[in-house]
Chain A
Amino acid sequence: MVAITRSLSPALVGERLSAVLLAATLGLGLLFVSGFAPVVALHNAAHDWRHAHNFPCH
């Protein structure tokens, strides 16, 4: 019988923080590109998405 114990290692706090920060930064970056970026080509490519999901457009 193998007992599996899971405990929170001290590193997990730092790892969790870095995972959250990385995901949040990447997520905000992707949303900026698809929803807010003023570059005309990006706006035109994402135009219908922006209207359908109520991002202020134009």
Chain B
Amino acid sequence: MTKRLLAAALVAGFLAACVASVLQFALTSPLILAAEKYETAETAAPARHAFANPLIVLAHAGHDHSGDPQWQPAPGLPRLAFTALATLVSGVGYALLLGAVLVAAGREVTPGEALKFGIGGFLAASLAPAIGLPPELPGAAAAALEARQLWWVATALATACGLYLVAIRRGPVAIALGLALIVAPQAWGAPHGPEEISAMPPVYAAQFAARSLAVAFAFWAVLGLAFGWAWGAVAGRQGAAGARRGVAA
């Protein structure tokens, strides 16, 4: 079962990464590049941020484009390739978690069932954190990174547990507890940075947030469907291999 889970996760992660990479190159990467032009212009005028709260870090401030020697992928194709690689690594990672949850829940793994869990993954890891921390372009002002990461992880976990209680456990107590878990991190509130006026046209940020969620939905849907399909396909191959060994013996 371990091999089957790992193999199905590799296949699903690869397929989801292929789809998400194409969508990212077409929809989100051009907006990131456009936003970085404004960011470069802003970091070139540091006096504007001289009185900023030291706990508030301006995203990218002084590290990506200020000529420091930190490695980063070269612009153009290498940058796209590394984005695709990160998408693949995350795709396999999310597929492993999806498979672990499916197997742990004791569900029969079919494409339909895996798709339902994939949509649950979208709700927990993409939509719920985006309510408090909307997808942001480089250059937007934000609160301290650790605080945002902590809230992100807590929200994804609480929403996932809440969805499990509401959709699988059911029962009035489970549903009440599940809804409370889903609402709690939003009621607590995400850490927010200062409201800054940026030179970047607001339409970029709005487009980016909407496109980012659309890409995430496609990613999770393909991940779920592909995992369900691959789970069956791997079993078919293992069964056929076993039958061939049986004939040979």
Residues of A within 8 A of B (CB): 12, 15-16, 18-24, 26-31, 33-36, 38, 40-41, 44-58
Contacts and interface: CB of A to CB of B under 8 A. Distances in A.
B159 interface: no
B86 A27 contact: no
B225 interface: no
Contacts of A16: 1, 103-104
B105 to A, nearest CB: 10
Given A19-B103, A30-B96, A54-B133, 13 more contacts: A16-B103, A23-B6, A27-B9, A28-B97, A44-B64, A44-B71, A44-B73, A49-B86, A50-B86, A53-B219, A55-B149, A56-B148, A58-B63
B183 interface: no
Given A40-B70, A56-B145, A12 B1 contact: yes
A45 B86 contact: yes
Interface string B67-98: 00011110000010011011101101111110
Interface of B: 1-2, 5-6, 9, 24, 28-29, 32, 57, 59-61, 63-64, 70-73, 79, 82-83, 85-87, 89-90, 92-97, 99-100, 103-104, 126, 129-130, 133-138, 142, 145, 148-149, 152, 212, 215-216, 219
B192 to A, nearest CB: 12
